[in-house]
Amino acid sequence: MWKYIVGRLVWIPFLLIAVAFITFILGRFGPGDPVEVMMGTKYNPVVAERIRSEMGLDKPVMVQFYKYIQSASKGDFGESFRFRGRSVSSLIAPKMIVSAKLSLVALLISISIGLPLGFYIAHKQGTWIDPLIVSFSVFFMSIPIMITIPFLLWIGCLKTNLVPCSGWGGIFDSRIIIPALAMGIPGVAGMLRIMRATTLDVLGQDYIRTAQSKGLHYFTVSTRHVFRNSIIPIVTILAFSLAGLLGGAFITETIMGIPGIGRFSVESIFNRDYPVIMAITLIGATAFVIANLMADISYSIIDPRIRYK
Amino acid sequence: MWICKNKLLFKVIFSSLLLIFLISCSSDSGEKNVDQFTNTSEKVLSEKKNNNNIVSAGKQLNVLYSDPPTLDPHRAQDSTSAGIILEIYSGLVSLDTNLQIIPDIAESWAISNDGMKYTFKLRDNAKFHNGKKITSADFVWSFNRAANPATTSITAEDYLGDIVGVQDVIDGKTDKISGIKLIDELTLEINIDSPKAYFLAKLTYPVSFVLDSENVKNKNWTDSPNGSGPFMLDEYLIGEKLLLKRNPDWYREPAKIEYVSMNLAGGQAMAMYENGEIDLTGVGMADLERVLDPSSDLNKDVVIAPLSFSQYYIGFNVQKPPFDDKYFRQALAHAINKELIANEVLSGMVKPAYGILPPGFPGYDKTIDGLKFNEQLAKDMLAKSKYSNINDLPRLILSVPGTGGSAGLDIEVIIEMWKQTLGIEVEIQQVEWATFLQMLNRQELQFFSGLGWIADYPDPENFLDINFHSTKSTNHNGYKNEEVDKLLESARIEQDLNNRMQMYNNAERIIVDEAPWIPLWFPGDRYVLINQRVKNYKLTPMSVPKYSLVEIVD
């Protein structure tokens, strides 16, 4: 087990360097140039050359990449090209927190509706309730967020004035309701269907029949045997959703005027703010790799039969 | 069985709720740390308000703003940054709300007879925000820092380049500007390379502002800048808010309001205005009719803003066929009915432009007629051009910047007019901004639109020289006319104001006739809503320091 974990950990830096390298090369060789964006229509090649050399952009790409990895490995992501004189970390940290808060609330909505409902309809297999709820959830999953948000805004803000139309005030602010609902409801279907499938699978297992024939109370069977075993695959989804928390949601953040990381990443790409793009990609990749590892490890904790060699 | 199953459902829901509750509680602790940050600052703010009698909630101006790319005056080059920098810092001279140059830290100045030596006398009472006296040594240090290549200032060449020795510092040959001399504690001498009438105007730009060398040494110093302007930076939360606090010891008349609160989180400006969250907002086309209706509540707040010093245009690359032919360009210009588009398509929000300089701009000449709409003339010009057989024309692609999917209604109508009058087919290509700039600077675009030129300082040089002199890198049209070059060069150093403006007018006439770009619009009447409680808020065509004049009545 430990050998397995260490083996996985050793690979992480190589994986991240590969991700960093691809992002770096794409930025440097793609069209557009950060200094030109900085200068806008008042471009002056002489000045641009001076700024480029001062920022180290005139050096060979491999030298730039080496220098970048060197400082990034110490946690120094450099200075933003667009917000001049500001460190990348001071820019993205507050925005990541905003996105994480929003996604966490959205995730809680998906879980708190999806899991119990999935568990419930698994027990209702064969009745009309099961297909009805599944089709409803799939219906909501299929509506793109570009439609749900304006619809929710129309009802919640314009017609009833229950919540403000846009903006951000943290988790305990009414402005989070619409974006969190819009992001959380499509997730219900995924949670619900996986929960339903795994519950059905578990219900058909021999050990459940054994437990029932032992005369255990229905509730004990459900919680100790069925629920615990059905939840394993959910852990995988949860882990990846948690990694997604840092990635933010571009569309929602843009429509709702939320100062999160999703909106900021896209703005940074348009501004060719390489240090910011690199940092966001690297943090996202790290979160993803670690979440993946944690999911694998948690399997063996929830189900002792799963062992890694 | 039913009861049993329902019980199960109840227990499952209960346990999930419990789980959620536990998760949200554990996330709360992290939550509070972050929120505390905002809450404390708001609490501090309200405490400050309670402790001080001058400060009442009514003395705060609330505006919607966006994150400034930088608060370092020497590195700033955009109007968003400038709007804040002009309030926090200051320089030798400034612009008042009528765009006249006025003394700022310099109380007076003398210009030598040859127009190349400026001697500034500083105020005795000018202080940084922390109370430190501002001396000529601070200015010498600041100019040297601005020009130093390590500062990576984009504007140093343009705004300080006239000063003797600045180029050497920029090139890294030395770190002292030879043309700036410290005479005594309060006297500063600046030598420029030739008698340039617009030099003083350039000194109003942030790159010429004074900074405190002790302050700049600190890491992330722009988070707590020690400026010299009418306001101090009280609080800045990126993406949330920026709060400016009155500098009570300002050397000129201190501000009348205590705070300017800038909302950086964005939102629907109109809705926020109507909710009283912000004190002013521009009115977009969608709300115009409602706001201008005399029976509307908002109507009494409407103010017409002065025209901004800018122009929208269609630019041609005159090196590329078919735009290398003057007659072809003229044909396109004559085929556009600007009056129709301005009134019917753009609801009168713009004024059709025929000349280059905007109305009200120094040197504006209303007798410049330009190429007016005339279908017959357009056809004649096309017939006169090398490209009279339109079937031989190369593929025409008009590039516009952006990602929105539309080039704008005005451009679409113009293309239709070209098609109807001249039979010329034009395709639109929308290019993402960074790529667009690259293609523009390399003169790879055949012709382009969606760009406006906005003056940085009120001098015709900033419109005509910078866009049409053949050696300027901002001349994206590849336009070259020796007579125009000559006129622009002599106007740079002409001392007589009338002669100088005459030179610019002559150059403008030639440019308009040769049509390296088709002037489209000057921004027209811009309607702005200003809350009745706000008095003396001056709308200006350019960024100038203005918050210190604002009064708030309740």
CA distance B331 to B354: 14
CA distance B178 to B165: 5
Q: Is the bond preceding B322 in cis, omega lying within 30 degrees of 0?
A: yes
C-beta separation of B549 from B256 below 8 A: yes
Residues of chain B with Cβ-Cβ distance to A156 below 8 Å are none
Q: Determine the number of helices (DSSP H) and then strands (DSSP E) in chain A.
A: 15, 0
Least-confidence region, from B37-51, B56-70, B121-135: B37-51
Tell me the average pLDDT across B314-336. 92
pLDDT band at B261 (very low <50, low <70, confident <90, very high): very high
Put simply, the chain B residues between 61 and 100 with a CB less than 8 A from any chain A CB are 67, 69-72, 75, 77-78
pLDDT band at B185 (very low <50, low <70, confident <90, very high): very high
Calculate ∠ Cα A201-A204-A205, nearest 5°.
Answer: 95
In degrees rounded to 5, what are phi and psi of residue B315?
A: -100, 140
**DSSP 8-state code for residue B178:** T
Cα dihedral B221, B225, B228, B229 in deg (nearest 10) = 130
CA distance A221 to B518: 80
Least-confidence region, from B3-17, B242-256, B258-272, B301-315: B3-17
Rg (CA), chain A: 24
| pLDDT for A245 | 63
CA distance A245 to A239: 10
Q: 3-state class of B431 per DSSP?
A: strand
Tell me the average pLDDT across B239-243. 86
The residue ranking higher by pLDDT, B403 or B358, is B358
Least-confidence region, from A202-216, B30-44, B495-509: B30-44
C-beta separation of B434 from A32 below 8 A: yes
| pLDDT for A43 | 82
Tell me the average pLDDT across A227-250. 73
pTM of the model: 0.76
Is the CB of B16 less than 8 angstroms away from the CB of A44? no
- Asked whether residue B41 carries a pLDDT value surpassing 60, the answer given is no
Say yes or no: A222 contacts chain B, CB-CB below 8 A.
yes
Least-confidence region, from A220-234, B369-383, B508-522: A220-234
pLDDT band at A189 (very low <50, low <70, confident <90, very high): confident
Say yes or no: B451 contacts chain A, CB-CB below 8 A.
yes
CA distance A264 to A90: 13
C-beta separation of A246 from A282 below 8 A: no
Task: State pLDDT tens for residues B278-323.
Answer: 999 988 777 888 888 888 888 889 988 877 788 999 999 999 888 9
Tell me the average pLDDT across A136-158. 86
% of chain A with per-residue pLDDT over 70: 95
C-beta separation of B460 from B357 below 8 A: yes
Task: State pLDDT tens for residues B422-464.
Answer: 999 999 999 988 889 888 888 899 999 988 888 877 789 888 9
Closest CA relative to residue B380, chosen from B323, B336, B327? B327
Q: Which of B11, B35, B268 sits opposite A165 (nearest CB)?
A: B268
Q: Which of B17, B70, B158 sits opposite A83 (nearest CB)?
A: B70
CA distance B240 to B35: 12
Residue A79: burial class (beta carbons within 10 Å; 0-12, 13-18, 19+): middle
Closest-CA residue of chain A to B241: A259
CA distance B140 to B146: 10
pLDDT band at B242 (very low <50, low <70, confident <90, very high): very high
Residues of chain B with Cβ-Cβ distance to A85 below 8 Å are 70-72, 75, 220, 222
Strands, E, within B285-393: which ranges? 302-305, 310-316, 350-352
Tell me the average pLDDT across B168-177. 92
Which residue carries 């970390």 as its tokens?
A: A89
CA distance B215 to B73: 13
Is the CB of A44 less than 8 angstroms away from the CB of B157? yes
Helix axes A88-123, A274-302, angle to 10 degrees: 40
CA B353 to chain centre: 20
Query: What is the average pLDDT score of chain B?
Result: 84
Rounded alpha-carbon distances, angstroms, from residue B1 to A22, A117, A196: 59, 19, 20
Please name the residues in contact with B496: beta carbons below 8 A apart, sequence gap of 6 or more: none
Task: State pLDDT tens for residues A289-306.
Answer: 888 888 777 777 777 776
Put simply, the chain B residues between 122 and 181 with a CB less than 8 A from any chain A CB are 149-150, 152, 154, 156-158, 170
CA distance B328 to B379: 10
Tell me the average pLDDT across B73-81. 88
Q: Which of A37, A112, A116 sits opposite B437 (nearest CB)?
A: A37
pLDDT band at B47 (very low <50, low <70, confident <90, very high): very low
- Asked whether residue B551 carries a pLDDT value surpassing 50, the answer given is yes
Cα dihedral B78, B79, B80, B86 in deg (nearest 10) = 110
Q: Which of B16, B78, B170 sits opposite A115 (nearest CB)?
A: B16
| pLDDT for A248 | 60
- Asked whether residue B36 carries a pLDDT value surpassing 60, the answer given is no
Tell me the average pLDDT across B80-88. 93
| pLDDT for A243 | 66
C-beta separation of B400 from B429 below 8 A: yes
pLDDT band at A271 (very low <50, low <70, confident <90, very high): confident
C-beta separation of B439 from B315 below 8 A: no
Q: What are the beta bridge partners of residue A309?
A: none
Is the CB of A42 less than 8 angstroms away from the CB of B77? yes
- Asked whether residue B24 carries a pLDDT value surpassing 60, the answer given is no
C-beta separation of A275 from A79 below 8 A: yes
- Asked whether residue B48 carries a pLDDT value surpassing 70, the answer given is no
Calculate ∠ Cα B231-B236-B242, nearest 5°.
Answer: 60
Is the CB of A90 less than 8 angstroms away from the CB of B238? yes
Structure tokens at B66: 């966006």
| pLDDT for A247 | 61
Question: How long, in residues, is chain B?
Answer: 554
- Asked whether residue A151 carries a pLDDT value surpassing 70, the answer given is yes
| pLDDT for B297 | 85
Task: State pLDDT tens for residues B101-146.
Answer: 999 999 999 999 998 999 999 999 999 999 999 999 999 999 999 9
Say yes or no: A7 contacts chain B, CB-CB below 8 A.
no
Is the CB of B152 less than 8 angstroms away from the CB of A108? no
Is the CB of A45 less than 8 angstroms away from the CB of B441? yes
In degrees rounded to 5, what are phi and psi of residue A210?
A: -60, -50
pLDDT band at A244 (very low <50, low <70, confident <90, very high): low
Is the CB of A165 less than 8 angstroms away from the CB of B239? no
Q: 3-state class of B320 per DSSP?
A: coil
- Asked whether residue B150 carries a pLDDT value surpassing 50, the answer given is yes
B90: left (phi over 0), alpha (psi -120 to 50) or beta: beta
C-beta separation of B468 from B479 below 8 A: yes
| pLDDT for A233 | 75
pLDDT band at B250 (very low <50, low <70, confident <90, very high): very high
Please name the residues in contact with B354: beta carbons below 8 A apart, sequence gap of 6 or more: B338, B368, B369, B370, B371, B372, B512, B519
pLDDT band at A284 (very low <50, low <70, confident <90, very high): confident
C-beta separation of A87 from A77 below 8 A: yes
Which residue carries 């490890």 as its tokens?
A: A297
Which residue carries 């501002």 as its tokens?
A: B134
Structure tokens at B102: 């006025």
**DSSP 8-state code for residue B307:** P
Q: Which of B17, B239, B435 sits opposite A259 (nearest CB)?
A: B239
For the ranges A200-204, A234-238, B218-222, B547-551, the one whose mean pLDDT is highest: B547-551
Residues of chain A with Cβ-Cβ distance to B69 below 8 Å are 82-84
- Asked whether residue A138 carries a pLDDT value surpassing 80, the answer given is yes
Q: For chains A and B, count residue pairs whose Cβ atoms are closer than 8 Å.
A: 156
Rg (CA), chain B: 28
A50: left (phi over 0), alpha (psi -120 to 50) or beta: alpha
